[in-house]
Amino acid sequence: MIEQDRQIADVIAKERPRLRSFIRRRVANDADADDLLQDVFAELVEASRLMMPIEFVTGWLFRVARNRITDMFRKKRPEAFSDALQEDEDGVLLDVEDLLPSPEAGPEAQYFRGLLLDELQHALAELPAEQRDVFVAHELEGRSFKELAAESEVSVNTLLSRKRYAVLHLRKRLQNLHDEFMEK
């Protein structure tokens, strides 16, 4: 048992950097990547304890990692604007940054991040001014609905409605690009 533990520790030490890099290129969130890495190594320990023969450990680890990544994306529905809405004391709050791929997730994610930002800018330009203004003020500038209502003399409910229509338009407009990114 001690020899088996040492072998597992050696495999983990040897493969951790490559496997983490492999996972990190496919998963934008560091915490998710670390969780997946830990799951892969836990499965290795379990397989070892059950005396499952693994001929090519490295290939097996990468296959398990790929399967775990696939499982994670299946469990997580693609996040659309309206899915990411979170309520605060002012009404609705959406953190647009959370919807974008991490800039540290590699060149491909960085490319898609730029592409999404460009498309977001074009989609925002298509909105009626009232919808665009409330979306930009609330989402990008972080202003509260109460503040916007007091400034514009428009009710909070009207502002919420305008933002809702903006979110629906943006979600529809950016969905294909989002789906394309999730396929990669």
- CATH number for the domain spanning 38: value is 1.10.1740
Asked whether residue 122 falls in the same domain as residue 35, the answer is: no
Domain assignment of residue 40, given as a range: 2-75
* The one-letter amino acid at 96: V
* Residue 104 to residue 94: CA distance in whole angstroms: 22
Top pLDDT among 4 and 44 is at 44
Asked whether residue 110 falls in the same domain as residue 149, the answer is: yes
Residue pair 177/115 in contact (Cβ under 8 Å)? The answer is yes
What does the pLDDT read at residue 89?
42
Domain boundary among 29, 56, 75: 75
Which pLDDT band holds residue 177 (cuts at 50, 70, 90)?
A: confident
The model's pLDDT over 57-110, given as tens digits with 9 standing for 90+, comes to: 888 888 889 888 888 777 654 444 444 444 434 443 335 555 565 666 667 666
Can you list the positions of beta strands (E) in the chain? 86-88, 91-93
Burial of 88 (0-12, 13-18, 19+ CB in 10 A): exposed
What does the pLDDT read at residue 94?
39
What does the pLDDT read at residue 136?
86
- Closest among 85, 111, 92 to 160, alpha carbons compared: 92
* Domain count along the chain: 2
What does the pLDDT read at residue 182?
61
Written in H, E and C, the secondary structure of 78-124 is CCCHHHHCEEECCEEECCHHHHCCCCCCCHHHHHHHHHHHHHHHHHH
Residue pair 78/163 in contact (Cβ under 8 Å)? The answer is no
Kindly report the number of other CB atoms within 10 A of residue 2's CB atom: 6
Asked whether residue 98 falls in the same domain as residue 178, the answer is: yes
Asked whether residue 55 falls in the same domain as residue 122, the answer is: no
Question: Helix, strand or coil for residue 88?
Answer: strand
What does the pLDDT read at residue 83?
44
The Cα-based distances of 96 to 43, 58, 69 in angstroms read 35, 37, 23
* Residue 19 to residue 93: CA distance in whole angstroms: 36
Domain boundary among 75, 101, 131: 75
The model's pLDDT over 103-160, given as tens digits with 9 standing for 90+, comes to: 666 676 667 667 777 787 888 889 999 999 998 888 878 888 898 999 989 898 999 9
Top pLDDT among 29 and 89 is at 29
* pTM over 0.75, yes/no: no
Asked whether residue 86 falls in the same domain as residue 66, the answer is: no
Asked whether residue 16 falls in the same domain as residue 87, the answer is: no
* The one-letter amino acid at 152: S
Asked whether residue 67 falls in the same domain as residue 19, the answer is: yes
Asked whether residue 20 falls in the same domain as residue 96, the answer is: no
What does the pLDDT read at residue 3?
79
What does the pLDDT read at residue 138?
85
Domain boundary among 21, 41, 75: 75
What does the pLDDT read at residue 97?
55
Asked whether residue 86 falls in the same domain as residue 100, the answer is: yes
